[in-house]
Amino acid sequence: MRKRSRRDRAALAVVAAAVLSMAGCDAFGGGGGTKDSGASASRPSARPAPVWNRSPDSIAAVGDSITRGFDACTVLSDCPEVSWATGSDAKVDSLAVRLLGVTGAAERSWNYAVTGARMADLPEQMTQAAARAPELVTVMIGANDACRSSARAMTSVASFRADFEESLTTLRAALPKTQVYVASVPNLKRLWSEGRANPLGKQVWKLGICPSMLGEADDLTGKATLRRDKVQKRVEAYNTVLKDVCAKDRRCRFDRNAVFDFRFDTEQLSHWDWFHPSRNGQARLAEIAYRTVTAERP
């Protein structure tokens, strides 16, 4: 009886060793279950949906006289049909037409820009735009903040930033997923250097168009140069604000100073005031916007 018990115990020990050996193989990758796990790990995971939609289905525009097409068709008048953002003019081929087609642009694009608007006016425009629930909002504003009666009267950089931040906050409270395209403020010093070559343009400027930069266009004294440089630096500071604030929003794209850097000439300027974009200028703005909105990466 005792011998039999010892044999039984020996047999049980052999079985136990075999079970432990198999368990050890599974635990360290020798078993079938581990092979399945390895195969699953090697499969590529599903890609997350992209944050930026390169073909939005509706557009609302906010901003100032540039987006209203002011002085592009007739003197001292808005001409929204040639707007770079939402216009219907075939020669301009606006951003809305490029993205939505002619019919889509007519039905699903809205222009809330206001001639003369400054950054302080943008939060209200954003509220109006948000009511349409667009998939994309375009922003072009800031020239009027620098174009004041004097350099001293320009909007401060701090106020410019606060109002732009409030504008995006207003939009995000209503539409967390709406995309935003932000155009840089145009190069006002280039505007002065190009337009002053035209005698008629200089006469028109004397009526009070952007005095801080364009006033006394032929004055090349140190004082006048210092004034223009101060305005230019303020414009550059505004563009830095637009870039920085936009960068904090995953669904915001700044044009990386493409509008500011564009080397326009008098063909792109209204021949009514030598300040606002002509049809040709509006078309160039539309090209820049479309390139930015449809780029694979910002």
Residue spans per domain, the chain: 2-40, 59-294
Backbone angles phi, psi at 219, to 5 degrees: -80, 115
pLDDT in tens, 150-202: 999 999 999 999 999 999 999 999 999 999 999 999 999 999 999 998 899 89
Q: Which two tokens stand for residue 92?
A: 């301009």
Percent of the chain with pLDDT over 90: 81
**R_g of the chain computed on alpha carbons:** 31
- Reported as half-sphere exposure (CB side, CA atoms, 13 A), residue 11 has a value of 6
pLDDT in tens, 103-154: 999 999 999 999 999 999 999 999 999 999 999 999 999 999 999 999 999 9
By the 8 A CB rule, do 269 and 276 touch? yes
Q: What is residue 34's predicted lDDT score, i.e. its pLDDT?
A: 37
Topology of domain 59-294, CATH: Rossmann fold (3.40.50)
Q: What is residue 213's predicted lDDT score, i.e. its pLDDT?
A: 98
Q: What is the C-alpha separation between 16 and 24, in angstroms, rounded?
A: 12
For 71, which DSSP code?
T
Q: What is residue 196's predicted lDDT score, i.e. its pLDDT?
A: 92
Q: Tell me: pLDDT of 39 over 50.
A: no
The structure's pTM equals 0.83
